[in-house]
Structure 1
Amino acid sequence: MNDLTGLGKVAESVDSVTKELRQLIYEFLSPGTKGAGEYIADKVRYLRFMNSVRAMQKAKVILESMGVDNVHIELRNLVPLIEKCSLEEDDTLIDKWANLIASAVVDKSFSPSYISILSSLSPIESLVLDTISRNSRPIMKMGIYQYYGVELHILVDKSNCVRADLVGVLSNLERLGLILRVFENEPALMFGNPPIGTMQSELIGLTPLGGRFILACDRKLEVGNGIPHIDLSILSTEVI
């Protein structure tokens, strides 16, 4: 009987993808946890296989370009990485998942919170976050950190996001702990709680968490692209 519905081809495709996903999972598992491979594969079997495969393949390319051979990831990070990235359909965010997987391999300070943060971002929220880091200017030093910020009208222009939508986007980024709000031209630089977008002196910048998260999701970025960082000149003159 002819496969008029095409189900046979679909089944073959799913089976092929499942095998590829299993192989990729095994490559990222450390030797002591190989037995968990079947568990992980079963757990994600009914999720979006192709998205997981795409992200993990891209991660392998990134790691190969870095000369990294040992690609093992802690089990507690590998499972949610596979689950969460399998649900993503946006190409730009899949690229970020690939970078995050690579970061889980090479960064000793990798935080599991990055996984839940990335899974909470919409494409426009991710775009605005990138726009903040790429268009910020130095605004202040607090403790040992140099902070950066960008005016709201620049965010509106660079992100092609209408102001009303931008306010909602920034509210979620603030809720996730990724951005901070600073008010210039006041009696003193200050943090505050006025509604977003109501003061002309308001600037939006990344928190240290936001900066580290962006770096983890883009291996090509370097500190200085609007990323809060420790000012070594302060370290040389102040006792911590």
Structure 2
Amino acid sequence: MKAKISITEQNAEIEASQEEVSEFLEKVIPNFVLEGGGILSDTVRFWRWKNQINIIKKVKSIVENSKLDKKQVPLKILLPIMENSSLEEEELIQNKWANILANAITASKDITPNYAEILKELSVLEVVILDKLFDESNKESDYEKRKQLQFSKQKISEIFKLSSEQADLIIENLYRLNLCQAPAGHGIAVGQYKFALRTTEVFEFTTFGYYFVQACKWE
């Protein structure tokens, strides 16, 4: 037969659990995020709202200065942009969110729904590196030649003062997001089975990556 737990014991257990959680959260979450009981507060919503306002002001300035016609943005594009951009504090990436939305509003560039999912997963350093790759790629006007351009991990490491391990982490993340890729090759064969060689020492911009970075720019 199961022992019955009194209301007093239940309340004591709840209070102990709440205190334990609150003590933990206080160490890992900024104070302004928490209410007295350690619960995420309305301040978070206000903080996200402020981020959205900052980004929308940037968009308004871009669009009005462009003198271009405005159009309604499909919800499947608009909502992910508004939702994810509200979590961004870094001004550099806020500018990217503003550019994507401005491009969508003016139809200056094709914006796809997955762009928001990709941008939210990029760090400031990764965004800066992508801009560098884009600028180098943009020097080549011929598409077939441009997509064959290769970039060196060593060069990226030197420019951005990265260790080999740090550079690998960044390049592998760009591979994961399909923004960059290892050079195409025939790989090696073991008997009748062929294996593709995967490296981060040299890499290429994907066509998708090129157009994603372009969509994050206002030109």
TM-score bracket for the superposition, by shorter chain length: 0.5 to 0.7
Provide the C-alpha distance between the structure 2 equivalents of 1:183 and 1:116, rounded to a whole number of angstroms: 26
In structure 2, what is the equivalent of residue 156 of structure 1? 157
Match for residue 103 of structure 1?
103
Query: Which of 187, 200, 209 matches 1:196?
Result: 200
Separation in structure 2 between the aligned mates of residue 206 and residue 73 of structure 1, nearest angstrom: 28
Contact between 1:96 and 1:217, CA under 8 Å: does it hold in 2? yes
Q: How many residues align?
A: 166
CA RMSD in angstroms comes to 3.0
- CA shift, 1:45, in A, is 4.9
Offset at residue 217 of structure 1 (A): 0.2
Give the distance between the partners of 1:192 and 1:150, measured in 2 at CA. 19
SS of residue paired to 1:210: helix
Structure 1 position 195, deviation (Å): 3.8
Can you give the 5+ residue segments of structure 2 that lack an aligned partner in the other structure? 1-31, 33-43, 188-194
Q: CA 1:126/1:216 → structure 2, altered by over 3 Å: closer, same or farther? A: same
What's the CA shift string for 1:192-236, capped at 9, x where partnerless? 533423xxxx2x22111101100110112xxxxxxxxxxxxxxxx
Identity %: 27
* 1:135–1:150 Cα contact (<8 Å) kept: no
Aligned pairs (5 A) from 1:222-233 = none
The one-letter code of the counterpart of 1:92 is: L
TM-score for both structures, normalised by structure 2: 0.65
Following superposition, the deviation at residue 110 of structure 1 comes to: 1.6
Structure 1 residue ranges, 4+ long, deviating more than 6 angstroms after superposition: none
Q: TM-score scaled by structure 1?
A: 0.60
Are the counterparts in 1 of residues 147 and 204 from structure 2 also a CA contact under 8 Å? Answer: no
Instruction: Please list, as runs of the form range in 1=range in 2, the aligned pairs for 1:65-80 lying within 5 A after superposition.
Output: 65-80=65-80
Deviation at 1:146, TM superposition (A): 4.2
Give the match for residue 192 of structure 2: none
**Alignment-derived partner of residue 3 in structure 2:** none
5 Å matches for 1:116-195? 116-136=117-137, 146-182=147-183, 192-195=196-199
Q: Is the 8 A contact 2:179 2:210 kept in 1?
A: yes
